[in-house]
């Protein structure tokens, strides 16, 4: 008999609310069964950030030591647009993304996820050029401790990075920096037109990603079902197995040996009540 060494996904978690602090978010994550936790380190709908106090750093470090959860991820403000035609918005975006990376490095959070931008009618090619140009500068000016992850989007409005080709182009134009990775969102790629609903389509989508970008670039997966259909380019998250993606895609995902050590993070609706339920669904799918 051959013993299989393939393990299902080991790092399952959720985006946890930060009311009460980052430490509390991690402890609450542990209570509902998380082995990875995503947080906001700042108000996601504000440009400004308060200076990071030592107390906040210590609080998070204590929670990590207590819970053993050391797979932490931060999600950047939704306002960021590195290819904004408005110079002021662009400057604020650059400052916000830099301060997020600085904060993450200080907090010991290795990954900061960002929706990189929307071209606002400048065209996709120009959007990609500007994102690449600013990304190089952002990475140059920030500490090594935190890696920037570009999130795949649903392609709503003029959002960039809904095609795998966009990510490939940014890597190409930035010279493939070590501190630039990808956060793949299952709801977003599905809404953008990439099917993953059965074994065949799942494999086709991930081999396409591998061919164009490289599967090793995926550092985090956002695990959400979708209220909107394939190719609609509308971003509406649903509970696992209740949306139009369906349960089979998530079974394939949590048993995919390529993602054994990749944090798989829920961003499903009604966090307080449903995170625990959705997490249990994912755990039960592991073989
Ligand atoms: Zn997401
Ligand atoms: Zn979304």
| pLDDT tens-digit map of 29-67 | 999 999 999 999 988 889 988 889 999 999 999 999 999
Mean pLDDT within 82-87: 97
List of residues 6+ apart from 263 with CB closer than 8 A: 11, 12, 13, 36, 38, 71, 73, 219, 220, 221
Percentage of the chain modeled with pLDDT above 90 = 94
The reply to whether 235 belongs to the active site is: yes
φ/ψ of 115, rounded to 5, equals: -85, 110
For ligand 1, the distance from its centroid to the CA atom of residue 115, given in whole angstroms, is: 9
Neighbours of 137 (CB within 10 A): 12
For ligand 1, the distance from its centroid to the CA atom of residue 2, given in whole angstroms, is: 38
DSSP 163: S
State the Cα–Cα distance between residues 267 and 113, nearest whole angstrom: 13
From first CA to last CA, the distance across the chain in angstroms is 18
Given the residues 237, 251, 275, 281, the one annotated as active site: 237
Map out the domains of the chain with their CATH numbers: 12-285 (3.20.20.150)
For ligand 1, the distance from its centroid to the CA atom of residue 222, given in whole angstroms, is: 5
Of 285, 216, 213, 218, which is closest to residue 249 (Cα–Cα)? 285
Asked if the model's pLDDT at residue 2 lies above 80, the reply is no
Asked if the model's pLDDT at residue 148 lies above 70, the reply is yes
The reply to whether 238 belongs to the active site is: no
For ligand 1, the distance from its centroid to the CA atom of residue 161, given in whole angstroms, is: 12
State the Cα–Cα distance between residues 267 and 221, nearest whole angstrom: 10
State the Cα–Cα distance between residues 70 and 63, nearest whole angstrom: 9
The reply to whether 75 belongs to the active site is: yes
For ligand 2, the distance from its centroid to the CA atom of residue 187, given in whole angstroms, is: 7
pLDDT at site 1: 53
Q: Could you tell me if residue 268 is left (phi over 0), alpha (psi between -120 and 50 degrees) or otherwise beta?
A: beta
The reply to whether 237 belongs to the active site is: yes
The reply to whether 119 belongs to the active site is: no
């Amino acid at each position: 008999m051959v013993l299989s060494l393939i393990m299902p996904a080991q790092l399952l978690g959720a985006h946890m609310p930060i009311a009460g602090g980052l430490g509390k978010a991690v402890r609450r994550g542990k209570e509902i069964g998380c082995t990875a936790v995503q947080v906001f380190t700042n108000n996601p709908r504000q440009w400004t950030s308060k200076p990071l106090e030592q107390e906040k750093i210590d609080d998070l470090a204590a929670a990590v030591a207590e819970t053993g959860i050391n797979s932490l991820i931060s999600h950047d403000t939704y306002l960021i647009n590195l290819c904004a035609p408005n110079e002021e918005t662009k400057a604020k975006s650059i400052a916000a993304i830099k301060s997020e990376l600085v904060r993450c490095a200080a907090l010991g959070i290795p990954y900061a996820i960002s929706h990189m931008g929307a071209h606002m009618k400048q065209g996709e090619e120009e959007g990609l050029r500007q994102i690449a140009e600013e990304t190089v500068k952002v990475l140059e000016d920030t500490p090594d401790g935190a890696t920037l992850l570009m999130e795949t989007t649903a392609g709503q409005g003029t959002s960039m990075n809904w095609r795998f080709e966009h990510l490939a182009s940014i890597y190409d134009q930035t010279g493939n920096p070590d501190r630039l990775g990808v956060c793949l969102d299952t709801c977003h790629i599905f809404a953008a037109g990439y099917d993953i609903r059965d074994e065949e389509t799942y494999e086709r989508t991930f081999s396409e990603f591998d061919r164009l970008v490289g599967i090793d670039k995926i550092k985090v997966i956002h695990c959400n079902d979708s209220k909107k259909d394939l190719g609609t380019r509308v971003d509406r998250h649903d509970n696992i197995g209740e949306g139009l993606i369906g349960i089979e895609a998530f079974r394939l995902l949590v048993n995919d040996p390529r993602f054994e050590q990749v944090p798989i993070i829920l961003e499903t609706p009604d966090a307080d009540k449903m995170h625990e339920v959705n997490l249990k669904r994912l755990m039960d799918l592991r073989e």
